[in-house]
Amino acid sequence: MSDRELSDPITMRLPTDLLSEIEEIAKICNRSRSWVFVRAVKSYLAAEGREIIELAEAKRDIENGLGQNLDDVIDEVEAIIKGAAA
């Protein structure tokens, strides 16, 4: 068993077809429904969830004046390219 601290149990409702798939996977893998669900949530967080967090952080940075103007960045890149071509 993992050494990670576990939360209090949570209750949620799932569409019955989704729960059926979770139960089928748990049975095939000889694991619990919780195990399957935790893996699914981890997968989501590693992909789409991570992207949502990164976009929120980027928006917060822009609001705090930490962003760069795209036109300025393009001008700088073009100057670098022209310098490299010379």
Separation between Cα atoms, residue 83 and residue 85, nearest integer Å? 5
Residue 69: its pLDDT value, please?
Answer: 84
Contact 10, 16 (CB under 8 A): no
The pTM assigned to this predicted structure is: 0.61
Q: Taking the domains of the chain in order of start, what are their residue ranges? A: 16-85
Residue 51 CA to its chain's centroid (Å)? 5
pLDDT tens readout for residues 8-66:
999 999 999 999 999 999 999 999 999 999 999 999 999 899 999 999 999 999 899 88
Encode 54-76: b = buried (16+ Cβ within 10 Å), e = exposed. eeeeeeeeeeeeeeeeeeeeeee
